[in-house]
A and B are shown apart, each in its own frame.
Chain A
Amino acid sequence: MMTAAIFAVLFLFILLGLPIAVCMGFTAVIFFVVLGQADVLLMLPARMYSGTTSFTLLAIPFFILAGNLMNTGGMTQRLVHFAQCLVGHIRGGLGHVTVVTNMIMAGMSGSAVADATGTGVVLIPAMEKAGYPRAFSAALVGAASTIGPIIPPSIPFVIFGSITGTSVGRLFLGGFLPGVLMGLFLMLTVAILSKRRGYRREQRATRRELMISALQATPAWGAPIIIIGGILAGVFTPTEAAVAASLYALIVGMLVYGEIKPADLPRILWETIQNTVQVMFIISAAGIFGFLLIRQQVPMTFVEGLMSLTTTPWVVLLIINVILLILGCFMEAIAIMLLTIPVFMPLIARVGVDPVHFGVLLTLNLMIGLLTPPVGMCLYAVSSVSKVPLWPLAKELWPYIVALTVCLGLVTYVPGLVLWLPNLVMGVAR
């Protein structure tokens, strides 16, 4: 009853339009006062402060900075050109280019919204010029951008690891194959739609054009090599890899491509600060909301309630997936993560699901939520870049949402897709 009341009040505030961070904090304040535990409010600032002190979370501003530097520094355009030479000749060529570009970009940036904006600005006008409907192009850019946080690096994985104590390195490795799978499913969907709608092929690039474009994009490839290679080799922690990627992106953007001028830096830093604070303030407020949940024993109540219905792992995962998909329609991904992790993790431990497997499937699920109306951050981002209204865009998105949901099903019920690579590289977790 208490669990239902807490979440009912929280969702009411969210739907009314109160900022998410304030929804969490204000709900906690109300319940502590109503339950006669106002003395606990003394803990409010300390709980909120402690949410900002994790060294792992320092990776967030640096991954955002790396993404902003890459978008400003000309890496995105060169990767698009390379992908165009590589797969542009397949039917629906620029559609495949969009997916491949986002898969490569995913190895550099950890944010879907940053990828959607970065690639959308370049690809949507190019696709429109080549005769693709603007809504199709915008929808595809949005769907492909969700690969970003699945292929490492990933801001959601950093947050999941920091809250649950799961190895961020294992999560990064665990996301690699599901990310590739998402790309293949999206490409299959593009191929089917392109055949049905008669979209054209681009002229096949000559070997020389392919070589030149690959050469021009070579410095851009350095970032994923630093990030993924550095973590794989045990040279970097995720936070250190994020710093290294930022420095590398700055050097390439300024000295190699010459597209970042010193005068651009304050703007890039300020944009990074804004994006970081939007996430960090929610994480901070989640500290006090999580404290409310634990004091009212909400996770335990939820686990007991669900376990009385079923103890079968696949049914539990199905229920969790459905809950997350519904929440994803109405809430922002990081907020859902912060709200549900304390509730779901004890359940996951009870039914014996590997936390790395759960972290990846939770994130993939939330990425689908970025596309679903009425609240989808990537939906808003591509709508803003492309000027396609929300609902026509949502209509174009559904084939990709179906494809990604099938992918989610596979990742949920074939744990090997997630666990094979981390077990291979880092050994089986004890």
Chain B
Amino acid sequence: MTPSETTSGRWAALDRGLAGAMRGACLAAFVVLIVLVTTLILIRFAPLFSLGWADEIVEMAFAWLTFLGAAALWRTRSHFRVDLVPGMLAGTRMGQALEILLSLMALAFFLVFTYEGAVLTLRTAMPSPILAWPKALWYMIMPISGLIIIGYTMRDLWLLFRGRADLAGEAVKEGHS
């Protein structure tokens, strides 16, 4: 096995591990949402006990689901986009240049998002009203997801510069399996 194959093997293992972790965390957040929202509804009809804290956990689970899910979908390039022009230019040098440009624009946005998300998380000192947990727990998913997205965007850029955009395509197929 050559050193480069070992390195790519490690990257692939890291990618699989991260994908599994994101999928697992999203599924856990969704199950929490289902259980708590269902319980909240049942309690409204049969007020046997109070579950005031549940609203805060529901908010956290929904935010974690959205942002971590966004990172998982970024990995497989499954976000909505109009692929008319990229589709027309696919396989050409212009197409490759366009994909590089798009990745750079996305990178610029997620750098701002991650930095500002980290600032918000670190500066938020107030606790949540009911559970009195640090509110940073709710916000921290934004810089975490942003970092993951930046990592995958860098991977895509690296593959595009090496003319191996097809490998990013493999990830897309895997994501829909």
Identify the A interface with B (CB < 8 A). Answer: 13-22, 25-26, 29, 41-42, 44-46, 48-49, 52-53, 55, 57-58, 61-62, 65, 236, 239-240, 243-244, 246-247, 266, 269-270, 272-274, 276-278, 280-282, 284, 330-332, 335, 374-375
Which of B37, B41, B109 has the most CB atoms of chain A within a 10 A radius of its CB? B109
Chain B residues, CB < 8 A from A240: 41, 44
In the bound assembly, the distance between CA atoms of A205 and B63 in angstroms comes to: 51
**Could you tell me the distance in whole angstroms from the C-beta of B56 to the nearest C-beta in chain A?**
11
In the bound assembly, the distance between CA atoms of A339 and B69 in angstroms comes to: 23
- Chain B's closest residue to A13 (CB) is B105
Q: Are B59 and A22 in contact (CB under 8 A)?
A: no
In the bound assembly, the distance between CA atoms of A25 and B37 in angstroms comes to: 30
Known contacts A20-B80, A52-B62, A269-B31; is-contact A58 B37 (Cβ 8 Å): yes
Partner of B69, one of A25, A239, A244, A273: A273
Q: List 14 A-B contacts (CB under 8 A).
A: A14-B81, A16-B102, A17-B98, A19-B106, A20-B82, A53-B62, A58-B62, A65-B34, A270-B27, A273-B69, A274-B69, A277-B26, A374-B82, A374-B84
Interface residues of B in 2-47 (CB under 8 A from A): 23, 26-27, 30-31, 33-34, 37-38, 41, 44
In the bound assembly, the distance between CA atoms of A330 and B85 in angstroms comes to: 12
Known contacts A41-B116, A273-B26; is-contact A280 B85 (Cβ 8 Å): no
Q: Are B80 and A282 in contact (CB under 8 A)?
A: yes
B66 within 8 A of A: yes
What string of 1s and 0s marks CB contacts (under 8 Å) between B54-97 and chain A? 00001100110111011011000011111111100000000000
- Chain A's closest residue to B118 (CB) is A45
- Chain A's closest residue to B73 (CB) is A277
Chain A residues, CB < 8 A from B27: 266, 269-270, 273
In the bound assembly, the distance between CA atoms of A17 and B79 in angstroms comes to: 11
Q: Are B37 and A284 in contact (CB under 8 A)?
A: no
Known contacts A16-B98, A22-B105, A42-B116; is-contact A280 B78 (Cβ 8 Å): no
**Could you tell me the distance in whole angstroms from the C-beta of A300 to the nearest C-beta in chain B?**
27
- Chain A's closest residue to B99 (CB) is A17
Known contacts A15-B85, A330-B82; is-contact A58 B66 (Cβ 8 Å): no
Give the B interface residue count (CB, 8 A).
Answer: 48
Q: Are B37 and A239 in contact (CB under 8 A)?
A: yes
Known contacts A42-B119, A45-B113, A270-B23; is-contact A14 B69 (Cβ 8 Å): no
By secondary structure, the A interface counts as helix
Chain A residues, CB < 8 A from B72: 274, 277
Chain B residues, CB < 8 A from A14: 81-82
Q: Are B112 and A17 in contact (CB under 8 A)?
A: no
In the bound assembly, the distance between CA atoms of A116 and B93 in angstroms comes to: 36
In the bound assembly, the distance between CA atoms of A330 and B81 in angstroms comes to: 10
Q: Are B117 and A45 in contact (CB under 8 A)?
A: yes
Known contacts A25-B113, A58-B37; is-contact A49 B79 (Cβ 8 Å): no
B120 within 8 A of A: yes
B142 within 8 A of A: yes
Chain A residues, CB < 8 A from B105: 13, 18, 22, 26
In the bound assembly, the distance between CA atoms of A353 and B67 in angstroms comes to: 36
Q: Are A52 and B108 in contact (CB under 8 A)?
A: no
Which of B31, B38, B62, B66 has the most CB atoms of chain A within a 10 A radius of its CB? B66
Known contacts A45-B116, A269-B27; is-contact A243 B84 (Cβ 8 Å): no
B101 within 8 A of A: yes
Q: Are B63 and A52 in contact (CB under 8 A)?
A: yes
Interface residues of B in 91-135 (CB under 8 A from A): 98, 101-102, 105-106, 108-110, 112-113, 116-117, 119-120
In the bound assembly, the distance between CA atoms of A26 and B101 in angstroms comes to: 13
Q: Are B62 and A17 in contact (CB under 8 A)?
A: no
Partner of B33, one of A20, A41, A61, A236: A61
Chain A residues, CB < 8 A from B78: 274, 278
